Amino acid sequence: MKDSKYIDHTLLKAFSTEEEILKICAEAVKYDFKSVCVNPTWITTAKKALADSGVLVCTVIGFPLGANTVEVKAFETAKAIEDGADEVDMVINIGRAKMHDYDYIENEVKAVVDAANGTLVKVIIETCYLTDDEKVEVCKRCVAAGADFVKTSTGFGTGGANLHDVELMYKTVTPHALVKASGGVKTKEDFEAMKKVGAMRIGTSNGTSLCGESSSENTGSDY
């Protein structure tokens, strides 16, 4: 797989404008990225801009805190897909994970998977807040619930992806699911290292520089 197809070209800052959304869509087409990842309010804009390009529209669910109810996450998922999202990246209830209420985690992921009805689901576990044992158990529950990917980070927490976490997640979910590394993947060296330990998708606002050109500005949180 060519490098550009690892990239979810990401713009999730609160003050993103339509002009900025259109800019990252144009970049995604130019570089043939896998997707653009935008907040739900921009799904229809991105879908129109990317029509017939082969670049997917990814959006986020329960983002960035993961503290919405299960019912709200399921509704948000269904609405996002109705609006044109090709993939959804949901945030787990991190507090429930810290309480070791893993049945809750499995149930909420399954609710989103069911609402997605075949649309690809990535589950953000926000590794910066979890112990290794918690990461492993949450990943197992994501697999049990039918998730397609587990993902390290929102980019809004206290830390992003690191090699240890990506490798741990990869070993836990393989061969049943894939791993997305996000938050802090900013250099080609970071990119290559993440691929080496098992990441099959990279969430970043630095996709253009990772694929050979400097981006004109930072377009995300800590993506």
Q: Which residues are the active-site residues?
A: 89, 151, 180
* Whole-angstrom distance, CA of residue 58 vs CA of residue 27: 15
Chain centre to alpha carbon of residue 188 = 19
- Where are any strands of DSSP class E within the chain? 7-11, 35-38, 56-61, 87-91, 120-124, 149-151, 178-182, 199-204
Q: Within 10 A of 104 (CB to CB), how many other CB atoms are there?
A: 17
* Whole-angstrom distance, CA of residue 98 vs CA of residue 84: 33
* Whole-angstrom distance, CA of residue 38 vs CA of residue 9: 9
Kindly tell me the number of DSSP H helices and DSSP E strands found in the chain.
9, 8
Spatial neighbors of 52 by CB under 8 A, at least 6 apart, are none
